Structure 1
Amino acid sequence: MTAPIPLEEAWTRLLAMITPLESEMVAVDDAVGRVLAEPLVARRTQPWADLSAMDGFACAGEGPWRITGESRAGQAFDGVVTSGEAVRISTGAAVPEGADRILVVEEALVEGHELAATEAPEPGRHIRRRGFDFASGDILMEAGQRVSPAGLALARASGNGTLTALRAPRVTLIECGDELVADPLECPDDRLPASNGAMLGAMASQAGAIVQRIGPVADRKSALREAFETARGNDLIVTMGGASVGDHDLVKPVLEELGAELTFWRVAIRPGKPLLVARWEGTLILGLPGNPVSSFVTGKLFMLPTIGVLSGEARPLPVPIPIPLRGSLPEGGPRREFRRARLVDGEACPIEQRDSSALRALAQADLLIDRPAHAGEAKAGTPVPCYWIANGANA
């Protein structure tokens, strides 16, 4: 049996196996979560003209001024403002030709058509200059960026109705184990409600994948072989459970019988060592451990980057954030460890429970602390690399 390989080597070997999917045209309103295959280019200039950033008066020169009209959003003042004149103006309305400053309502003194200021506005005050956000032809997002809700707004505001994005990966999740029951309401005490498939499915969906779930699949070669046949042709197959060395861990032998090419097996991390990576007829296969925390951690470290590369992400690997420790951590063991932690007042507070089956501790966690093998003691206040896992805390 070969020794577990380091995480960085596993990442390098995994990512080298993956080719981004083909691109397609997507309606802009359907593009959130998709990765751009081509840059997003502005088709218009924003703002289209000099606009007022405040409600008030567009003034020419030093006051006092005489009010000669109004400029509203969507209905600009039709004329020129000369020195000593002003027009009423609303937020987002075009600044008339000749006006060089905005006097806000709160600082205006109005008597009939006469206008004065409690405090004289400086030239250029409260004016959003034409094109300060973007100009027609500007590249607003590069290829490889994932479209966020803010990116959707940017695409629409820049005049785009469609985007060129990579196809969403088709991912099949196969949950293995005789002990698992699909319906949590009909689960006897001596068995377990299946949870990994739902958890990994939610993670994959949030990453932009189209998810198919199979299982629970019984610990029989024929049942597992049938599940693989059902998943045939998808972009990624992820199994949960059955990837270790027990008598009932059948993923590896079944893949070998199907003619799959095993790329590597076992990674030197805790939790999640019995990770398997293979290719079967052009489909990438990730065999994740069955313990839920191990499944989550390897899903975070391997499944999500795989989906990212398939989707076209330019930077698919997770990026650690240095966060100071709340409390201390003892010396580390022989394997690199990912410790669950809470975010408390801007500090990473390690959760004492480390068992890889403990779901409550996982659901309470906001972070994974990345502890290198044989790490020395880390004292309170020491910055430690953390991966954000977004379980609900507000950073």
Structure 2
Amino acid sequence: MANLLPVKDALRQILADVVPVGEEIVALDDALGRTLAMPVIAERDQPPFHASAMDGYAVRFEDVVGKTPMLKLVGLSRAGHGFAERLKPGEAVRIFTGAPVPEGADAVVVQENVTADGDRVQVNEAESRPRHIRKKGLDVARGDMLIAAGTLLTARHIGLAASANQAHLAVRRKPVIAILPTGDELVEPGSLPRDDQILSSNNHALSSFVRSFGGLAVDLGIVGDTLPALEAAIERGLDADVLVTIGGASVGDHDLVQEALVRSGLKLAFWRLAIRPGKPLMFGHLEGKRVLGLPGNPVSALVCARVFLHPLMMALLGRTAGDDVETVPLAEGLKANDERQDYIRAKLVRDAGGRLCARAMEIQDSSMQRSLANADCLIIRPPHAPTAEAGSAVEILRLDF
């Protein structure tokens, strides 16, 4: 198998010189799950003023340090309605949590330590240090970068952006991924297939895969095994950022996808990989667009999508995908591997000590979609990996789609 391309070399070619897609402006409430294209910069301090952290009385610390004075109540400060005057010696202002601390005050005495009678306030416990004030800019200072470009926006980020007075955000547009399922044997779910036909699942699974990682999927529809039909579908797919074909990537008598692509002008980079499952995987460039030819086997197609299409989408979104490999111990041992990098379907389980471990599923036949649906992750076994004992560390990719 010397002519099989290693996975790392294939991935390097697929990701070479990727330029992120352009940006668009969306309303803040539409930004969830999108990728930030421009950093969010704080336009003001947060809190924008010295704020009380407790209900109580704003005072001058020098009036209460080491003593229990009677102070004159001169006003009220509550959220949205601060006390506008400067506090003078011997004065106090009734204040509530989150309200602005009046100018001249530098401490808050909690209400439990005060007895109030009309406009007189008796401090019952001496203070040893200024307390209960959140300083201006405690959380955020004006000019701080709050959210970096390339961040996948969560509800927490939306809240932070809102606090920074951002009603709209610049996000990467969704990469458009055209999906081309091929094969005379395929029919859509909901039809009445003949005994020699297969229900098409790859296009639906891959469309969902693309959407789950922030892309826009365009299903070109099932195309039969004829060169004219394939070439016409390929032409339609070139409006997308990436064209993904399914099946027919090999060079058998009925594997016409590669031929149709080459006839359309594809510059083929490779089509045979040292990977299991998914050896017949094709990649090249056509009219400046990347073309990824996935195997027709449903398990192989989705595993290869996780290994290759996912990092490509992350690159198009201006994000990196190199940090999604995790290391966990094996729940059970694994035999030595051969020349192909193996991606083994596995469950994540807890051992007796509570550690998260990966347990390979018993049957790894690439035709078994149910085992893929029930798996939590893929154990990565490099080429020629030796026998691995239970408890030894392995790398995994989570099946988070």
Report the secondary structure of 1:165's partner residue: strand
Distance of aligned partners of 1:226 and 1:140 in 2 relative to their CA distance in 1, 3 Å threshold: same
Alpha-carbon distance, 1:337 to partner: 1.0
Length-normalised TM-score, structure 1 = 0.85
Alpha-carbon distance, 1:276 to partner: 0.6
Q: Mapping of 1:66-215 within 5 angstroms?
A: 68=73, 70-79=76-85, 85=92, 87-90=94-97, 92-101=98-107, 108=112, 112-113=116-117, 123=129, 125-184=131-190, 186-188=192-194, 190-215=196-221
The question of whether the paired residues in 1 share the 8 Å contact of 2:183 and 2:225 is answered with yes
Point out the more displaced range, 173-182 or 14-23. 14-23
| Unmatched tracts of structure 2, length 5 or more | 351-355
Alpha-carbon distance, 1:178 to partner: 2.4
Report the secondary structure of 2:394's partner residue: strand
Q: Structure 2: how far apart are the matches of 1:139 and 1:282?
A: 35
Deviations 1:103-159 (A, max 9, x none): 667xx3665546778x98874655432212222222223333333333232222212
Report the secondary structure of 1:20's partner residue: coil
State yes or no: 1:329 paired with 2:339: no
Q: Mapping of 1:276-355 within 5 angstroms?
A: 276-313=282-319, 315-317=320-322, 319-345=324-350, 346-355=356-365
Alpha-carbon distance, 1:76 to partner: 2.6
Q: Structure 2: how far apart are the matches of 1:197 and 1:125?
A: 62
Report the secondary structure of 1:226's partner residue: helix
Point out the more displaced range, 38-47 or 6-15. 38-47
Q: Structure 2: how far apart are the matches of 1:376 and 1:121?
A: 68
Q: Percent identity?
A: 38
Q: Mapping of 1:58-73 within 5 angstroms?
A: 58-60=57-59, 61=61, 62=64, 68=73, 70-73=76-79
Aligned counterpart, 2:353: none
**RMSD of the TM alignment (CA)?**
3.0
Distance of aligned partners of 1:126 and 1:380 in 2 relative to their CA distance in 1, 3 Å threshold: farther
The question of whether the paired residues in 2 share the 8 Å contact of 1:27 and 1:163 is answered with yes
Report the secondary structure of 1:216's partner residue: coil
Aligned counterpart, 1:244: 250
State yes or no: 1:363 paired with 2:362: no
Alpha-carbon distance, 1:193 to partner: 2.3
In structure 2, give the amino acid aligned to 1:231. G
Deviations 1:156-188 (A, max 9, x none): 221223333333222111112223221246445
Aligned counterpart, 2:232: 226
The question of whether the paired residues in 1 share the 8 Å contact of 2:181 and 2:246 is answered with yes
In structure 2, give the amino acid aligned to 1:287. G
The question of whether the paired residues in 2 share the 8 Å contact of 1:101 and 1:121 is answered with no
Distance of aligned partners of 1:199 and 1:99 in 2 relative to their CA distance in 1, 3 Å threshold: farther
Q: Structure 1: how far apart are the matches of 2:169 and 2:109?
A: 41
Distance of aligned partners of 1:8 and 1:120 in 2 relative to their CA distance in 1, 3 Å threshold: farther
Q: Structure 2: how far apart are the matches of 1:358 and 1:210?
A: 27
Q: Structure 2: how far apart are the matches of 1:121 and 1:273?
A: 74
In structure 2, give the amino acid aligned to 1:57. G
Determine which structure has more spread, i.e. the larger CA radius of gyration: 2
Q: Structure 2: how far apart are the matches of 1:381 and 1:22?
A: 45
State yes or no: 1:18 paired with 2:23: no
The question of whether the paired residues in 2 share the 8 Å contact of 1:327 and 1:380 is answered with yes
Q: Structure 1: how far apart are the matches of 2:152 and 2:221?
A: 31
Q: Structure 2: how far apart are the matches of 1:317 and 1:85?
A: 57
The question of whether the paired residues in 2 share the 8 Å contact of 1:305 and 1:318 is answered with no
In structure 1, give the amino acid aligned to 2:311. P
Distance of aligned partners of 1:164 and 1:115 in 2 relative to their CA distance in 1, 3 Å threshold: same
Q: Structure 2: how far apart are the matches of 1:167 and 1:321?
A: 29
The question of whether the paired residues in 2 share the 8 Å contact of 1:42 and 1:138 is answered with yes
Deviations 1:13-54 (A, max 9, x none): 11115322333444433333443343322222222123344x
Point out the more displaced range, 125-134 or 286-295. 125-134
Alpha-carbon distance, 1:214 to partner: 1.8
Deviations 1:275-321 (A, max 9, x none): 111111112110011112211111112112222222222x2445311
Point out the more displaced range, 222-231 or 140-149. 140-149
In structure 2, give the amino acid aligned to 1:6. P
Length-normalised TM-score, structure 2 = 0.84
The question of whether the paired residues in 2 share the 8 Å contact of 1:58 and 1:100 is answered with no
Q: Structure 1: how far apart are the matches of 2:123 and 2:298?
A: 69
Point out the more displaced range, 145-154 or 10-19. 145-154
Q: Structure 2: how far apart are the matches of 1:299 and 1:103?
A: 61
Aligned counterpart, 2:272: 266
Report the secondary structure of 1:279's partner residue: strand
Point out the more displaced range, 344-353 or 300-309. 344-353
Q: How many aligned residue pairs are there?
A: 385
| Unmatched tracts of structure 1, length 5 or more | none
Alpha-carbon distance, 1:342 to partner: 2.0
User: Which runs of structure 1 show a deviation greater than 6 angstroms over 4 or more consecutive aligned residues?
Assistant: 119-122
Distance of aligned partners of 1:319 and 1:78 in 2 relative to their CA distance in 1, 3 Å threshold: same
Distance of aligned partners of 1:57 and 1:266 in 2 relative to their CA distance in 1, 3 Å threshold: farther
